[in-house]
Chain A
Amino acid sequence: EVQLVESGGGLVAPGGSLRLSCVGSGFTFGNYWMHWVRQSPEKGLVWVSRINPDGSSISYVDSVKGRFTVSRDNAKNTVYLQMDSLSAEDTALYYCARRDGVGPKGHLALWGQGTLVTVSS
């Protein structure tokens, strides 16, 4: 079955860290750009980060730059999101997603079920 499964979410105190994982199966993971998107009732869907197939090209939204680090291990079919210096504003459901298509046709065609991150004391 073609799927993405996230894990690693949970309750963390402000200033703390978490590492999210997203495992892909049923497709050639190393061929795809992977993205992280988060969602909260207050802010809706927010694109967080992306990483290209070999990990050499990475982008972040400004609000997480310097605090979050995306990486991947294609041998393990896994993409990671290391989140440091967490604040309440980072509380959200975090999705990983696979990008299909190129150029104007690029789109997030496959999504995981999400993993919930709650930052609270």
Chain B
Amino acid sequence: DIQLTQSPSSLSASVGDRVSITCRASQSISTYLNWYQQKPGKAPKVVIYGASSLASGVPSRFSGSGSGRDFTLTISSLHLEDFATYYCQQTSGTPRTFGQGTKVEI
């Protein structure tokens, strides 16, 4: 199975901060990497797919980069509504594994 390791596991930030979360795969996955945002009591919501494509309706302050094994989700200027837990997921192999999550908190 392809393992995904996110870092950090949690981070404290303020409104307006630039925030980056990384996801490292245990083997090369090309750009088969998605990012999801999850708020308490809600289902996950895709924010980035194919490593760098912005999902529909997602603000442009979100961006994704990377290929191969290393990927980054960046929020250029944190808004209050961005405080959530973020997960990466690979779709290169089966099972479609998720990272352990990164909690972005105030």
- The chain A residues found within 8 Å of chain B, CB to CB, are 35, 37, 44-47, 50, 59-62, 95, 97, 101, 104-109, 111-114
Instruction: Mark out the residues of chain B between 56 and 104 whose CB falls within 8 Å of any chain A CB in the assembled complex.
Output: 56, 87, 89, 91, 94-98, 100-101
What is the predominant secondary structure among interface residues of chain B facing chain A? loop
| B46 interface contact, C-beta 8 A | yes
A14 to B14, CA, bound (A): 45
Which residue of A46, A101, A105, A111 is within 8 Å of B43 (Cβ)? A111
What is the predominant secondary structure among interface residues of chain A facing chain B? strand
Q: List 16 A-B contacts (CB under 8 A).
A: A37-B98, A44-B98, A44-B101, A47-B95, A47-B96, A47-B97, A47-B98, A50-B96, A104-B31, A105-B49, A105-B50, A106-B49, A107-B91, A108-B46, A111-B43, A112-B43
Interface size class of B (residues with CB under 8 A): 20 to 34
Chain A residues positioned under 8 Å from B45 (CB to CB): 111
Instruction: Considering the complex, give the chain B residue whose CB is closest to the CB of A59.
Output: B94
- Asked if residues B50 and A108 are in contact (CB atoms below 8 Å), the reply is no
- Asked if residues B95 and A111 are in contact (CB atoms below 8 Å), the reply is no
Which residue of B43, B51, B96 is within 8 Å of A35 (Cβ)? B96
A121 to B89, CA, bound (A): 33
